[in-house]
């Protein structure tokens, strides 16, 4: 089988959709060595995270072919790519990040689209009006024209059914996994190097994710003020204009000197930061899946997450859950998560067992089953 993939995010994004795209293609390529995986990308950019993927013998890159406007950028991804897919005899096309070419249905090529979330509809205030309009147009159309849809959580599936009126039988839930690097214990030298490089506090809570309103770092900062003074908070992520607000809150509640923000952590360093934390916080108000919850559990740390979206799916019975508006609940849960004893040991072991359900071989097998179902339906 020759599978075409939308490779834009794999090539350009170092986190989020980029990680998912690389993980899926690598997992499928390894699990099905007879499959040919072709990533279609508008351009080539320097990205060291592509090295492992492109070293696989059955993975290739393709750039736009032809001349004119349809061979460039968004126009190529949206419309022009389909003629190239036909020419290169692609058996199935998988849009890895919420989108498909709008003319894929008429091309005769079966298609699958992965939908990560519809947060722009659930929390519209976090997006500009033009972005909401464009996402709604592209994502809604992609859901309607796809032969099958992969949703990364039951919450996302329910949102697709409710918002776009899609038949639930057309949607398969295939949970995300996390990178293999989180499944390995960092060496003592690596732990020490990362601690020194990023000046990590002796005892800290870590929260990983873009620093924006939806991720709710403010809640963890407020909860920090109710925890012992030797407990610090390490926030790992890029600021999207929300950090100044968070710092003001930290000053108001008296923990400004206990808040540490890291915006240049590499993927190789991140497991060592998780593994040395006393607890992992992820009180995001809405997510499609919530990878940091899984990364924390895989790292052998207790995790505190928020209710209200899909984080209970990512954390199962292993995580603590709190109301995303209750600093009191957050502080109590973090205190419990950091209390040493048999209960904590049992919870960490439960977390490791839960995380093992999201291994990449199983994910590849489930995705291949979706491909088979798609092709069978087309005869």
Q: What pLDDT is recorded for position 67?
A: 77
Q: What pLDDT is recorded for position 377?
A: 85
pTM of the model as a whole = 0.93
Helix (H, G, I), strand (E, B) or coil at 91: coil
CB 282 within 8 A of CB 292: yes
Q: What pLDDT is recorded for position 71?
A: 76
Find all residues with CB under 8 Å of 188, minimum gap 6, and list them. none
Tokens found for residue 126: 């976090």
CA gap 30, 26 in Å, rounded: 6
Count Cβ atoms within 10 A of the Cβ of residue 30 and give its class: 0-12 exposed, 13-18 middle, 19 or more buried.
Answer: middle
Could you tell me what percentage of the chain is helix, strand and coil, using 3-state DSSP and rounding each to the nearest 5? 50, 15, 35
Q: Could you report the average pLDDT of every consecutive run of 10 residues in the chain (379 residues)?
A: 95 88 95 95 87 93 85 86 95 97 94 97 94 96 97 97 97 92 94 98 97 97 98 96 97 98 93 98 96 96 95 96 98 96 94 91 94 88
Give the pairing of strands 2-6 and 111-115.
Answer: unpaired
DSSP, res 122: H
Task: Look at residues 363, 233, 223, 201 and name the one whose alpha carbon lies nearest to residue 306.
Answer: 223
CA gap 143, 162 in Å, rounded: 12
Q: What pLDDT is recorded for position 272?
A: 98
Tokens found for residue 339: 């209390």
Task: Look at residues 96, 93, 114, 115 and name the one whose alpha carbon lies nearest to residue 104.
Answer: 93
Q: How crowded is residue 272: how many other Cβ atoms within 10 Å of its Cβ?
A: 24
Helix (H, G, I), strand (E, B) or coil at 62: strand
Phi, psi at 280, each rounded to 5° = -115, 130
Q: What pLDDT is recorded for position 15?
A: 81
Half-sphere exposure of 182 (CA within 13 A, CB side): 26
Give the pairing of strands 171-173 and 36-40.
Answer: unpaired
Torsion over CA of 41, 44, 45 and 51, rounded to 10 degrees? 90
Q: Which domains does the chain have, with CATH numbers?
A: 2-177+359-377 (3.40.50.2000), 180-357 (3.40.50.2000)
Helix (H, G, I), strand (E, B) or coil at 349: helix
């Amino acid at each position: 089988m020759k599978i075409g993939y939308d490779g834009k995010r794999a090539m350009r994004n170092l986190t989020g959709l980029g990680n998912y795209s690389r993980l899926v293609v690598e997992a499928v390529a390894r699990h099905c060595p007879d499959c040919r995986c072709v990533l279609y990308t508008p351009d080539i950019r320097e990205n060291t995270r592509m090295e492992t993927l492109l070293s696989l013998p059955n993975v290739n890159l393709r750039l736009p072919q032809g001349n004119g406007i349809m061979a460039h950028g968004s126009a190529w991804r949206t419309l022009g790519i389909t003629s190239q897919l036909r020419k290169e005899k692609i058996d199935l096309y998988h849009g890895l990040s919420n989108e498909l070419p709008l003319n894929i249905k008429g091309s005769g090529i079966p298609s699958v689209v992965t939908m990560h979330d519809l947060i722009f509809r659930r929390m519209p205030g976090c997006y500009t009006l033009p972005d909401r309009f464009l996402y709604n147009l592209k994502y809604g159309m992609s859901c309607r024209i796809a032969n099958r849809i992969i949703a990364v959580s039951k919450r996302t599936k329910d949102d697709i059914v409710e918002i776009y009126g899609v038949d639930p039988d057309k949607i398969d839930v295939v949970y995300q996994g996390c990178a293999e690097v989180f499944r390995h214990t960092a060496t003592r030298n690596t732990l020490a190097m990362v601690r020194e490089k990023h000046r990590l506090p002796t005892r800290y809570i870590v929260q990983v994710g873009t620093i924006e309103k939806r991720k709710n770092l403010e809640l963890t900062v407020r909860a920090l003020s109710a925890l012992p003074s030797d407990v610090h908070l390490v926030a790992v992520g890029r600021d999207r204009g929300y950090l100044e607000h968070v710092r003001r809150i930290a000053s108001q509640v008296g923990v400004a000197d206990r808040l540490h923000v890291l915006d240049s952590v590499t993927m190789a360093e991140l497991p060592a930061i998780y593994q040395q934390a006393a607890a992992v916080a992820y009180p995001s108000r809405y997510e499609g899946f919530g990878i940091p919850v899984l990364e924390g559990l895989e790292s052998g740390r207790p995790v505190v997450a928020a209710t209200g979206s899909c984080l209970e799916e990512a954390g199962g019975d292993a995580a603590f859950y709190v109301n995303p508006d209750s600093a009191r609940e957050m502080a109590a849960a973090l205190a419990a998560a950091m209390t040493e004893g048999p209960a904590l040991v049992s919870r960490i072991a439960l977390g490791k067992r839960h995380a093992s359900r999201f291994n990449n071989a199983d994910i590849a097998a489930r995705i291949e089953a979706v491909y088979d179902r798609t092709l069978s339906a087309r005869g």
